[in-house]
A and B are shown apart, each in its own frame.
Chain A
Amino acid sequence: AQKITQTQPGMFVQEKEAVTLDCTYDTSDPSYGLFWYKQPSSGEMIFLIYQGSYDQQNATEGRYSLNFQKARKSANLVISASQLGDSAMYFCAMREGPPSAGNNRKLIWGLGTSLAVNP
């Protein structure tokens, strides 16, 4: 079974509008972390936002927020006020288990969602 599922291969959004990119995850570990990364066409991987499984509040970073619904095992990324520069691939990733010294830090990735922002 897929650990990280991103069901939207491609999304379009109008500039200045908000968009939600879906991510569901599967783990039996009570401690885990969820990450979103952006990959522009130039190829680099840019960290956007992190949500820990025990965090009480949804994570926010500027125009990015994470809609964390633990019972549904979903961690959707919301981008507000889309900009042309937001056009990129977006990856959801998970770390399972608490990170101890040297262990349990690998990230498991989804297939990504390609976002196109229209002017």
Chain B
Amino acid sequence: EPEVTQTPSHQVTQMGQEVILRCVPISNHLYFYWYRQILGQKVEFLVSFYNNEISEKSEIFDDQFSVERPDGSNFTLKIRSTKLEDSAMYFCASSAQYEAYEQYFGPGTRLTVT
């Protein structure tokens, strides 16, 4: 069964460093998303991406964040200068165009900023 994959599973970085979180969505899906979940809190939407551009973003997704689909299979989230409060689980998700719009999630990347 096709699945969304994410790498790395755990990333530890120092405050102020740049990190890139990688995702490979399901191959025939057209919509891609990043969400984050701070430990013990609700899942929060960051950004959605369609047709090679951002279609929607939340107020969390400020200038420190960017997304890219560099090669038609990978979908990346970059945080330019990490802050302590960026520590969270980051989920990538993808969905098809004509199904019941469910989003299929990857296993997540746990980002720890020290």
- Find B45's partner among A35, A44, A45, A108 (CB 8 Å cutoff): A108
Q: At the interface with chain A, which of B11-19, B20-28, B50-58, B70-78?
A: B50-58
Q: Give a binary string over A8-27; 1 marks a CB under 8 Å from any B CB, 0 the rest.
A: 00000000000000000000
Counting CB contacts under 8 A, is A85 at the interface? no
Known: A106-B56, A109-B42, A110-B42. A101 touches B50 (CB 8 A): yes
From B55, B100, B108, contact of A43 by CB (8 A):
B108
Docked-complex contact B43 and A43, CB < 8 angstroms: no
Q: Is the interface of B mostly helix, strand, loop or mixed?
A: strand
Interchain pairs with CB closer than 8 A, number: 70
Counting chain A residues whose Cβ lies within 8 A of the other chain, the interface size class is 20 to 34
Contact present for B101 and A106 (CB under 8 Å): no
Q: Does A115 contact B (CB under 8 A)?
A: no
Known contacts A33-B101, A35-B102, A99-B101; A105 and B48 CB within 8 A of each other: yes
**Closest CB in chain B relative to A10 CB, distance in Å:** 13
What distance in Å separates the Cβ of B29 from its nearest Cβ neighbour in chain A? 12
Chain B CB within 8 A of A88 CB: no
Verify B101–A45 contact, CB threshold 8 A: no
B43–A106 touching, CB < 8 Å: no
Residues A43 and B89 in contact, CB atoms below 8 Å apart: yes
Nearest residue, chain B, Cβ from A46 = B105
Assess whether A107 is in contact with B45, with CB atoms less than 8 Å apart. yes
List 17 A–B pairs whose Cβ atoms lie within 8 Å, in order of A's numbering.
A35-B102, A35-B103, A45-B105, A46-B105, A50-B102, A52-B100, A93-B43, A99-B101, A101-B50, A102-B53, A103-B55, A105-B101, A107-B43, A107-B45, A109-B44, A110-B42, A111-B42
Known pairs A103-B56, A106-B56; list 19 more (Cβ under 8 Å).
A43-B89, A43-B110, A45-B108, A46-B105, A47-B105, A50-B101, A91-B43, A101-B50, A101-B51, A102-B48, A102-B53, A105-B33, A105-B48, A105-B56, A106-B33, A106-B48, A106-B58, A107-B43, A112-B42
User: Residues of A at under 8 Å CB distance from B?
Assistant: 33, 35, 37, 42-47, 50, 52, 91, 93, 95, 99, 101-112
Could you list which residues of chain B lie within 8 angstroms of chain A, going by C-beta atoms?
31, 33, 35, 41-45, 48, 50-51, 53, 55-56, 58, 89, 91, 93, 95, 100-108, 110
